[in-house]
Amino acid sequence: MISLNRSIYLSNAGISGSCSPFSGRQRGVVPSAPSSLRVVAVNSNRDLNGSVVMESTLKEMRDATNVIDVDANANDAAAVAGGSHDVYGEDMATEDHFVTPWSLSVASGYSLLRDPHYNKGLAFTDKERDAHYLKGLLPPTVISQDLQVKKMMHIIRQYQVPLQRYMAMMDLQERNEKLFYKLLINHVEEMLPIVYTPTVGEACQKYGSIFSRPQGLYVSLKEKGRILEVLRNWPEKNIQVIVVTDGERILGLGDLGCQGMGIPVGKLALYTALGGVRPSACLPVTIDVGTNNEKLLNDEFYIGLRQRRATGQEYDELLHEFMTAVKQNYGEKVLIQFEDFANHNAFDLLAKYGATHLVFNDDIQGTASVVLAGLVAALKLVGGTLADHTFLFLGAGEAGTGIAELIALEISKQTNMPVDDARKKIWLVDSKGLIVSSRRESLQHFKKPWAHDHEPIKTLLDAVNDIKPTVLIGTSGVGRTFTKEVVEAMASFNEKPVILSLSNPTSQSECTAEEAYTWSQGRAIFASGSPFPPVEYEGKTFIPGQANNAYIFPGFGLGLIMSGTIRVHDDMLLAASEALAAQVSQENFDNGLIYPPFRNIRKISAHIAASVAAKAYELGLATRLPQPKDLVQYAESCMYSPSYRSYR
C-alpha cells in the first residue's frame, strides 16, 4: 500500500474529464523530487478530441507496480513539525532557502475538498468518500445539492449588508463552483442584484479591501512584450469568452483602475448562470494601465499599478499586443467582450478590431439591444411603430449613442427609410445641452450623427418641452436628473410616457420608480438599469421593469459560440432584441412590464441564442456546419448544468 502523504501521482499528460475529479491544471513538468517521496507513474492515452483518458481508477493506483522509489534518505524517525514527515522539504529549509511549490495532479482527499471545480462538500456519497480518500475528512452525513442550496440561502439571507452577501457568494464560488451556479440559477431574481448591479459597484470600489483570491487574469504595463506568456499562465486552455476591462469607467462610478476586475468576474458568472457557457471556458481580464483616481493611488490596500493612466501610443500598443495574443492563443472564434472602457477608447477599440476579431462591447451594443427590446415590447402598450415615436436621450456617451444607433437601424429596417433620416427622430442632450448642428465642429466623432438642425437648448426640461418626445431615456450616469418638472412635462403631452432611467448603480439612476409613477399619476411605462421594488400608487401595484444587459449578453454570446461565428454583425443585435421582446407575455403587459421576469432567463437566453445563431448562418458568418434543425433545442443542449456528477 502506498501512503498518500508520502506519494505524488504523476501522469504523462494533464488529466481532465467531466466525471473524474482531476484538476487538469498542472503542466506535467516535474521538478527534481525531494527526498522522502515516492512517484507513481500513471499511464494515460489521448482520445480523438485530445483529452486525456485515465486507464486506472484510484483503487488500481493503490496497487500500482510501476513505482519509482526516490526515497533515498528516508528516515521515519527524522520527523519534523510535530511529527509529520516533511514531504516537500519546506520545514527543513530556512527562510532564506528556496522551496518548490509542489501540488498533487490527482484531486483526492484533502486536495479534492479544496478544488472548487470538483468539490461537492457533504454531497459526496459514501462510495465516493471510500474511493477518493475522504473518510474522516467530512462529517458522516450525506446531503443533497438542493439541501446545500437551501442552507446557503439561509446563511446569505442572514447578512443585512449587500456587500457581505456579495463576499459570501464569491467565497462560495471559490469553494464549490457547481453549488454557486446552482444557487444563482435557482434564485436568480434574488441573487442577481448581489453578484452584479448594483452591489458589484460597491464591491469594485472596495475591491482592494475585500480582495482575498485572484479570480481572473491581470495584464499590466509590466507585462508589455510578454502578454502571450501571461495568457498561457491561465490554467484553462479552451477559452470561448473573454470579458476585459481597463477599469476607467466602471458603471457610473468612474475610474476604479485595477479594482474594476469585479465587472468581468460578475459578467462571466452571468454568462454561465444565465447563458449556460461552461465556467472553464470563461476568462475575466483586467488591463491595468494605472488610474487617475487619487483616492485609490493613496489607498494602502489598492491592488493595481500606482501611477497615472497610460495613454496614446503606450496604451494602444499594449491593447494591440493583448488582442493579437488572444487570437494567437485561443483562435479566431474566441469572443472578446469589452466592458466599461471610457468613451474615447470604447468606440475606437470596437471600430478597430470589429473587422479582425469577434468583439462585442456590452456598454454600446448590449445596452442598445436590451433597450430596443423594451421599446419594441412597449409598442404593445403605447401603440404605433418605432417610426411613429420621438426619442430624447439624456446622455450621449457609449450607452446613449449605441442605443440611438440601434433604434435608427431598426426603424430603417422596418420602413426602408435611409438610416440618416431615421436618426432625425432621435435627439440627444449632453452636459452642454441639446446636440445641434451649430455645435458640430466641437463634438466628439460619435456624437456628430446626432447633431440635427435646431436652435441651441441648454436644459433637459426645455428640450422636453420643445421636442415633445414620446420616449425619454437616461444614460447620463448622473442621479436625479429626471426631475418632477421633467416627468410632469412628459406626462402632460403623452397618455403613457415611456421613461427609461438606465444609469447604474441605483444611486446614479435618473429617477426612481416611485418618482416616475407618482409624478406621472401612474401612467408612465417605466424601466430602469438597476432594480427597484414594486410601487403602490392609488391602490394599484406597479412592478418596475429592469433594462438589464443580463437579458441579452449571455444568450447573445451563447448564440455566437454554438454557431462558431467569427464576426459580430448589427443584424445579430436586432435579432437578439426581437427575440427578447417576443418573450414578454400578455400577463407581463397587464402588470405594465416591458421585460419578462428573470426567473425564466435560461429559456429566454436559449431563444436569443437561437435567433442570433440563425442570423449568423443567414449571413454566412457561422462556421459550425451543418446548421442544427432546431436551434432553440440545440442551444438548450449546449448549456452548462451545475448539477453534481458522480465520480468513479
- Ligand-binding annotation for 548, yes or no, is yes
> How far is residue 599's CA from residue 585's CA, in Å, rounded to a whole number?
14
Residue from 178, 206, 267, 425 carrying the catalytic annotation = 267
| DSSP designation for 310 | P
> Which position has the grid cell 456590452?
362
- Ligand-binding annotation for 340, yes or no, is yes
> How far is residue 404's CA from residue 70's CA, in Å, rounded to a whole number?
69
Q: Quick one: cell of 5?
A: 502523504
Tell me whether residue 196 is one of the annotated catalytic residues: yes
Concatenating the DSSP letter of every residue in 195-207 gives HSTTHHHHHHHTH
> How far is residue 441's CA from residue 595's CA, in Å, rounded to a whole number?
39
> How far is residue 262's CA from residue 210's CA, in Å, rounded to a whole number?
11
Strand 498-501 and strand 471-474: the pairing is: parallel
Q: Please provide the size of the chain in residues.
A: 648
> Which position has the grid cell 450525506?
142
Tell me whether residue 267 is one of the annotated catalytic residues: yes
Residue 410: HSE in the Cβ half-sphere, 13 Å Cα cutoff: 26
Indicate the helix (H) or strand (E) that contains 527: strand 525-528
Q: Torsions phi, psi of 583, nearest 5?
A: -85, -5
In sign, the C-alpha dihedral spanning 372, 374, 378, 379 is positive
> Which position has the grid cell 512584450?
225
Task: Report which residue type is found at 333.
Answer: K
> How far is residue 496's CA from residue 504's CA, in Å, rounded to a whole number?
24
> How far is residue 341's CA from residue 287's CA, in Å, rounded to a whole number?
10
Residue from 9, 118, 181, 196 carrying the catalytic annotation = 196
Q: Quick one: cell of 593?
A: 412590464
> How far is residue 204's CA from residue 184's CA, in Å, rounded to a whole number?
20
Q: Which residues are part of a known binding site for a divalent metal cation?
A: 339-340, 363
Task: Give the residue ranges of the annotated binding site.
Answer: 249, 339-340, 363, 504, 548
Catalytic residues: 196, 267
Q: Known binding site for (S)-malate: residues?
A: 249, 504, 548
